[in-house]
């Protein structure tokens, strides 16, 4: 079970985590987890370019190590990058020391101060340690593009139905999500543009977030 829209009751209980980024620019933040992928990530980049949209890519360390040229392309095309662990491990299933080591291995291949916990699963003690060095980015809205039970149309609806200024929306540039993601993203980008949202990349510095 997972939430498509993060309930407001959760946010005060997890003050070390960022669920949205309020602003007066009508800006929203598209994010992509689990890349980079040598074919899917460039397809996402092309689609973002069509709508003059910027995004933030939370990269798995082992994938970034295997495809440094895609990491560089993401940055060259004006997008931001963040950490998503080296092996995409759940913080709920391993001890704190192992989890912290897993995160600290990633910056060798992903230079960023933004971190998104894989699966969104992190303990309070893990977050307390990591917040010293990273801004821990969660989300307000989840497209659920990774879930084969949903259609691209449903993923589009999840990604748009509660969006507002400051929303952080999750898609995945992965093989698991690709059958739904590109179509859902295309529909979502059209919707965001029609509604006047500005699609920005996140800053990599804590002070400006």
Q: Which residues are catalytic?
A: 33, 172
Contact 173, 32 (CB under 8 A): yes
Which H/E stretch holds residue 199?
strand 198-199
Is the preceding peptide bond at 183 cis, omega within 30 degrees of 0?
no
For residues 178 and 111, give the distance between their C-alpha atoms in angstroms, rounded to a whole number: 26
Contact 48, 187 (CB under 8 A): no
Is beta strand 168-172 parallel, antiparallel or unpaired with respect to 27-35? parallel
For residues 2 and 6, give the distance between their C-alpha atoms in angstroms, rounded to a whole number: 9
Q: Give residue 73's Cα distance to chain centre.
A: 17
Smallest Cα–Cα separation from 84: which of 137, 154, 162, 15? Answer: 137
3-state secondary structure (DSSP) of residue 106: helix
Contact 206, 137 (CB under 8 A): no
């Amino acid at each position: 079970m997972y939430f498509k829209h993060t309930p407001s009751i959760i946010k005060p209980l997890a003050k070390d985590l960022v669920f949205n980024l309020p602003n007066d620019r009508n800006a929203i933040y598209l994010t992509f987890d689990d890349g980079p992928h040598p074919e899917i990530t460039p397809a996402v980049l092309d689609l973002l370019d069509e709508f003059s949209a910027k995004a933030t890519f939370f990269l798995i360390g082992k994938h970034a190590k295997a495809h440094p040229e895609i990491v560089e392309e993401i940055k060259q095309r004006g997008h931001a990058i963040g950490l998503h662990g080296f092996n995409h491990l759940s913080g709920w299933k391993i001890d704190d020391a192992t989890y912290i080591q897993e995160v600290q291995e990633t910056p060798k291949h992903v230079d960023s101060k933004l971190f998104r916990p894989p699966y969104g699963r992190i303990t309070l003690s893990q977050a307390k340690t990591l917040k010293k060095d990273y801004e821990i980015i969660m989300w307000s809205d989840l497209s659920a593009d990774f879930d084969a039970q949903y259609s691209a149309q449903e993923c589009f609806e999840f990604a748009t139905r509660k969006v507002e200024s400051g929303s952080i929306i999750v898609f995945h540039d992965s093989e698991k999500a690709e059958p739904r993601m590109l179509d859902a993203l295309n529909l979502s980008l059209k919707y965001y543009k029609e509604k006047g949202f500005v699609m920005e990349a996140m800053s990599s510095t804590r002070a400006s977030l």
